[in-house]
Amino acid sequence: MTTGKVYLVGAGPGDAKLITLKGLECIKKADVVVYDRLASPRLLRQMKPGARKIYVGKRTERHTMKQEDINKLLVELALEGHIVVRLKGGDPTVFGRVGEEAEELRKHGIGYEIVPGITSSIAVPAYAGIPVTHRNLASSFSVITGHEHPEKLDKMIKWDKVTNATGTLVFMMGVAQIGHISAQLLKHGRPASTPVALVRWGTRAEQETLIGTLADIADKVAERDFKPPAVIVVGDVVGQRERLRWAEQMPLFGRRILVTRARSQASELVDRIEELGGEPYEFPVIETIMPAGEEKLEKIRLAMSEIESYDWVFFTSVNGVDYFFRHLDEAGLDVRSLHRAKIAAVGPATIEALRRRGIRCEAPPERFDAEGMIEAYGERLLTGERVLLPRGDLARGWLSETLQERGLGVTELDTYETVLTGEDDEDLLDLLQDDKMHAVTFTSSSTVRNLLAVLKRMGADDAVELLNRSTIACIGPQTAKTAEDSGLRVDLLAKEATIESLLDSLCGWKAGTDHGESGM
């Protein structure tokens, strides 16, 4: 058996997009990813199908796996022939114990690479508006471990040298020892008025910043019950936060938002949430596929062969457009086949999907649903006209029935099918149960039904109650009705059935629930 290879990869400080390109490439090709709790769950979604993930992270109250056992695990996996990624928070060489893991791999003749990551020591302060150096305040900085018992810290750190060695001191994982750290810095010459910042879960939705001085920071930590993990910054650069804080000013800062759309359509919503400062959590629960069954396919082929006989083609979704043109192409036809028909579309996204294919629609409806289409085009629909209605297999029957009642001949085509997807995700279940999923977005009725089904499959005792602990946001009235009929409490309903309108409702919700940052 060929020996595998191990990539010791820095995942960055928490925000999934702060991983390096090389780190992401390693994750995508890995057979196994061995990770800790500081690695973003979103990164694990980049793993190839069938790849294994193994959690070995450490928590304050317990150790999931000893370092020696992690070393042994990496060796065993590589000897089995796997490509292994050891995914660590921040940079693997900055208090990441990468030296021990690399040494063990080298001892067994296993190839490895160290892939640097953005260290939390600079990224976390930056997200709090604190540069670790500043031309007028600090020309150097030190990174120091704080994650040891005071006696051990005193043996490891030469406080008389470190205290004033650089303008800025950054202590990693030192919340539990903040009193001792402050006392030692005061003892060795730092002024009591020296500014101090603790930034907890920096770059993530839980980011929280506490500001004080060496004289009072330990008391403030106790008063706020400020928990790890956090980066401690000591020095005058902390004062820059008042002018440079930027992340907290973003409309969706501090909010983790579940995106349930199909992966092929989720990118727009995910990207916009990130642009607005939120933390999207992708968990696609639907996927669209070409229809199965010879009867459906034969009906589609027949409709394509008669395409020039239709007076109208009604498109009710972007998927309807995409799959219609796939079928048109398979029939050896192109957009010229629609020269006779009037083209109707439900809303801006669908209109844009058609425009990209060189088709300009009839005047768009004011309401972005089936009812709006009838309101917009109803007076122009003539008895006896033929209408082609390409759609998904789960689409409502209301539009077709209404058109037929008006005397039009309607051909309904299931041009695609919507199927349940979504792998079991323990991280998602934990976030929901711990009230750390702040909002859940639904963009179709099928996303509602499928998310409930997946949560039940994952072992949720009461999926409805679990979701109702988060803010529920729906893109349109039909989606909201499905959610309410399922027992969900709909908190936000977009004014228009568009992604931008959904985002507007989320930003309004966040603004209404944001009471500011205590402790600065």
Which residues are designated catalytic? 36, 58, 173
Contact 479, 444 (CB under 8 A): yes
Q: What is d(CA 4, CA 285) in angstroms, rounded to the nearest whole number?
A: 34
Contact 146, 181 (CB under 8 A): yes
Half-sphere exposure (Cβ direction) of 247: Cα atoms closer than 13 Å: 27
Q: What is d(CA 492, CA 504) in angstroms, rounded to the nearest whole number?
A: 10
Q: CA distances (Å), 112 to each of 21, 22, 91, 367, in order?
A: 18, 14, 16, 57
Number of Cβ within 10 Å of residue 342's Cβ equals: 17
Bridge-based pairing state of the strands 312-315 and 439-442: unpaired
Q: Whose CA is closest to 352, among 401, 315, 392, 303?
A: 315
Q: Whose CA is closest to 394, among 447, 315, 441?
A: 447
Contact 88, 14 (CB under 8 A): no
Q: What is d(CA 163, CA 501) in angstroms, rounded to the nearest whole number?
A: 52
Number of Cβ within 10 Å of residue 60's Cβ equals: 12
DSSP state letters, 205-231: TT-EEEEEETTTHHHHHHHHTPPSSEE
Q: Which residues have CB under 8 Å from 394's CB, separation 6+?
A: 418, 445, 446
* b/e map 90-112, b = 16+ CB within 10 Å: bbbbbbbebeebbebbeeeebeb
CA atoms 509, 510, 511, 516: torsion sign: positive
Q: What is d(CA 301, CA 307) in angstroms, rounded to the nearest whole number?
A: 10
- Which H, E and C letters describe 372-434, residue by residue? HHHHHHHHHCCCCCEEEEEEECCCCCHHHHHHHHCCCEEEEEEEEEEEECCCCCHHHHHHHHC
